[in-house]
């Protein structure tokens, strides 16, 4: 259920106190970038990169994740208009409800960033069926529904963009990620198929396939547990966001940040699958999270990426 919405714009800077009065409210002028899962990690970094480039924003995430404060900060720091909508995207009608809410306010959307998702790690036998179903629903069903309801609006702008956040895991059947990796494979293939369909229209579709992203202490411990390869293949969310938005505007079909990750994708295509899976099993099997409860952890915006 949608809990709160608002618009913020103002003059708060990085060094100003968080206790300053809220900026005055106004409706965005011009089209907006819609970013889901925007309150933490990669989603927040993607929203900030859009704001840094002067784009107005519509931010979506779960209630009680700090979205009003983040909207205020981005509006003041970059002098753009920011509208936020707190909602649970696992609710079946939430994509259409978001669309109606935007339409009622006569806002326009020319960039859709489908970032919200759930990532888990661990043995399938220990996983929770409810968590697996939520992962499938959010990573696949919600993304498809959002794309479908906003596609007519996107086609009204020239150019317009869809950035779907997949993962490096999309290229492999991954032990310890037997549900997550296939959901990201769907995102990748859906993006490429839709891109081909929309050839000749104003809409450009890209799939972002990052490796590990260092977003919090738990994620850093997990990456450290993967050893040398984990360390050299990971990035900070700000790095990924800047690379992703730049290459989205360059109309790249598949966006893979980092030379090591590009090499991993290339080698994964020529090395026998059995060897690839042995490597993946060895790498992720060494993580303490494979033996603990991390598989049951939900992250609304890919807060932990283990690829």
pLDDT at 264: 84
Evaluate whether residue 9 is within a structural domain.
yes
Q: What is the pLDDT of residue 235?
A: 75
Domain CATH number, residue 164: 3.40.50.720
CA distance linking residue 307 with residue 294, whole number of Å = 15
The answer as to whether 303 is a domain residue is no
Beta strand pairing call for 82-86 and 32-36: unpaired
Task: Determine, yes or no, domain membership for 203.
Answer: yes
Q: How far is CA 245 from CA 48, 90, 241, in A?
A: 11, 26, 6
pLDDT of residue 217: 60
With DSSP H G I counted as helix, E B as strand and the rest as coil, what are the percentages for the chain, rounded to 5? 50, 15, 40
What is the rounded CA–CA span in Å between residue 88 and residue 303?
16
pLDDT digits (tens, 9 = 90+) for 174-205: 888 999 999 999 999 999 999 999 999 999 99
Q: What whole-number distance in Å separates Cα of residue 24 and Cα of residue 8? A: 6
The stretches in the chain having pLDDT less than 50 are 1-25, 288-307
- Specify if 307 maps to a domain: no
| pLDDT at residue 226, rounded to an integer | 58
Q: How big is the chain, counted in residues?
A: 307
Q: Is residue 305 part of a domain?
A: no
pTM, full prediction:
0.81
Active site residue 99: no
Contact partners, residue 125, CB within 8 Å, separation at least 6: none
Predicted local distance difference test score (pLDDT) of residue 221: 61
What's the rounded Cα separation, in Å, for the pair 262 and 35?
Answer: 25
Number of separate domains in the chain: 1
**What does the pLDDT read at residue 229?**
56
Among residues 131, 182, 165, 175, which one has the least CA distance to residue 282?
175
Residue 292 lies in a domain: yes
| pLDDT on residue 55 | 97
Strand partners, 305: 213
Expressed as residue numbers, the domain containing 97 is 5-296
Q: Which of 78, 84, 172, 180 is catalytic?
A: 180
- The answer to whether residue 200 sits within a structural domain is yes
Report how far Cα 261 is from the mean position of its chain's Cα atoms: 18
- Whether 208 is covered by a domain: the verdict is yes
């Amino acid at each position: 259920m949608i809990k709160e919405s608002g618009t913020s714009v103002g003059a708060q800077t990085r060094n100003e106190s968080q206790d300053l009065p809220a900026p005055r409210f106004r409706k965005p002028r011009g089209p907006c970038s819609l970013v889901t899962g925007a309150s933490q990690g990669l989603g927040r970094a993607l929203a900030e990169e859009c704001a840094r480039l002067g784009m107005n924003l519509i931010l979506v995430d779960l209630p009680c994740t700090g979205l009003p404060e983040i909207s205020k900060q981005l509006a003041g720091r970059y002098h753009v208009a920011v509208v936020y909508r707190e909602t649970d995207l696992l609710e079946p009608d939430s994509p259409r409800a978001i669309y109606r809410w935007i339409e009622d306010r006569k806002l326009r959307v020319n960039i859709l960033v489908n970032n919200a998702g759930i990532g888990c790690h661990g043995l399938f036998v220990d996983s929770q069926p409810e968590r697996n179903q939520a992962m499938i629903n959010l990573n696949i069903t919600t993304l498809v529904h959002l794309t479908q309801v906003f596609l007519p609006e996107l086609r009204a702008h020239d150019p317009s963009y869809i950035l779907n956040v997949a993962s490096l895991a999309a290229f492999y059947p991954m032990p310890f990620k037997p549900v997550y990796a296939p959901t990201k494979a769907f995102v990748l293939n859906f993006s490429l198929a839709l891109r081909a369909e929309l050839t000749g229209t104003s809409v450009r579709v890209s799939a972002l396939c990052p490796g590990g992203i260092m977003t919090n202490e738990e994620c850093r411990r997990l990456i450290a547990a993967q050893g040398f390869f984990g360390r050299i293949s990971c990035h900070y969310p700000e790095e990924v966001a800047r690379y992703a938005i730049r290459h989205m505007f360059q109309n790249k079909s598949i966006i893979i940040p980092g030379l090591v990750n590009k090499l991993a994708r290339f080698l994964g295509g020529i090395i026998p699958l059995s060897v690839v899976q042995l490597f993946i099993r060895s790498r992720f099997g060494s993580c303490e999270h494979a033996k603990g409860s991390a598989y049951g952890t939900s992250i609304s915006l890919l807060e932990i990426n283990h690829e």
